[in-house]
Amino acid sequence: MDLGQTVAFFGNVQCRDAHGTAVFTGSLNTSKKPLRDSQVAARRMLTVGPDVVRPSRNAILMGDAAYIIGAGFPDYWLGSLIRDNWEIHKADGLASIRTPSELLAGEPGFSAYAGCIWLKVAKDEGESAHQFNDVQLYFGRTESVPVWSVVGLGDTLYLAQSGHRSASEFTVVEARQIPQPALTTAQFKRGIYSPTDDAWTFTTVSIPALVLRWQDGFNYQSQGSVQYHRGDRQVLVRKIDASPENGSKITFDSAEHVVVSIEDLGECWSLQVRRT
């Protein structure tokens, strides 16, 4: 008896590579006990025959449902592979992953299937009673989501704050929901000094901006960094759109704000702003 063919014969679930064209069959089981954690409700074990090649981006479709693939546990008999067992996690949809610069420019970034697991509701009582969600975003084990990435899943945006590889070999991103509306058009007041006239000429330009809670994007670069005041916001703008300085004025949400500190994020400036 060929055990590999026996495993393939009992595969009764049709699967498809979510990013390709390969089609194969497998059988579903509950998650292996040593790997069970608080997310076990979203997990299954998919058993496939020895000839099935794991999708390169570790995402599959079963009917209308999408799953991402984590750890694999091959079984052998007398030195021959007879089946492979994949830990799979249900995905909530196809997420977009963009840098802040790509988001502000309206560029697509790249897409990957992701599952969203709610962690907790938090709030800063020193600022307001408004609550925000902390979540974990699960991706296939080969996906990479850098810190400061903006992940769009459904109608919600999340800011990636850290990441790690889980025990089941999924890529896990610790993220915070970005309050909406976060994308806005800001009015940036730009000043040009004329030494001949000893006077400033001001012009106002409209630029795209990403408005965050200050607590989600601040970075004290030294002991003398500007401290937080209630109501401060963190605003990201592209370098090609603005050249801010401390004291520059930027208007959004029908209110004028002044820039009190600036951090270089590569293609963007991160501005700590305070309402005037």
pLDDT at 39 over 70: no
> What span, in angstroms and rounded, lies between the C-alpha atoms of 211 and 209?
6
Q: Give 32's Cβ-side CA count (13 Å radius).
A: 15
Q: Which residue has the higher pLDDT, 26 or 34?
A: 26
> What span, in angstroms and rounded, lies between the C-alpha atoms of 258 and 248?
6
User: How confident is the model over 90-104, as pLDDT tens digits?
Assistant: 999 999 999 999 999
The model's confidence at residue 40, banded by pLDDT at 50, 70 and 90, is low
Residue whose pair of structure tokens reads 């007879």 in the numeric block = 82
Q: What is the pLDDT of residue 128?
A: 59
pLDDT at 170 over 50: yes
pLDDT at 111 over 90: yes
- Residue pair 108/94 in contact (Cβ under 8 Å)? The answer is no
The terminus-to-terminus CA distance of the chain in angstroms comes to: 80
Strand partners, 252: 255
Domain ranges of the chain: 3-90, 93-177, 183-275
Q: Please state whether beta strands 80-90 and 93-98 pair in parallel, antiparallel, or not at all (unpaired).
A: unpaired
The model's confidence at residue 2, banded by pLDDT at 50, 70 and 90, is low
Q: What is the pLDDT of residue 29?
A: 81
Q: What is the pTM assigned to this prediction?
A: 0.83
Q: What is the pLDDT of residue 1?
A: 46
Percent of the chain at pLDDT above 90? 55
User: How confident is the model over 208-256, as pLDDT tens digits?
Assistant: 999 998 777 766 666 566 777 778 899 999 999 998 988 889 999 989 9
Name 175's Cβ contacts closer than 8 Å, sequence gap at least 6.
134, 135, 136, 137, 151, 158, 159, 160, 161
Question: Which whole-number Å values give the CA distances from 73 to 45, 89, 90, 195, 226, in the listed order?
Answer: 10, 15, 19, 72, 52
What count of other Cβ atoms lies within 10 Å of the Cβ of residue 13?
A: 15
- What's the length of the chain? 276
- Average pLDDT of the segment spanning 47-63: 94
Q: Which residue has the higher pLDDT, 1 or 15?
A: 15
Question: Which whole-number Å values give the CA distances from 190 to 41, 91, 204, 260, 271, in the listed order?
Answer: 53, 45, 6, 15, 15
> What span, in angstroms and rounded, lies between the C-alpha atoms of 103 and 208?
9
pLDDT at 33 over 90: no
Average of per-residue pLDDT values in the chain: 86
Q: What is the pLDDT of residue 10?
A: 54
Q: Among 2.40.10.370, 3.90.550.10, 3.40.50.300, 1.10.150.240, name the CATH number for the domain at 183-275.
A: 2.40.10.370
Q: What is the pLDDT of residue 239?
A: 94
Which among 2, 7, 3 has a CA at the least distance from the CA of 25?
7
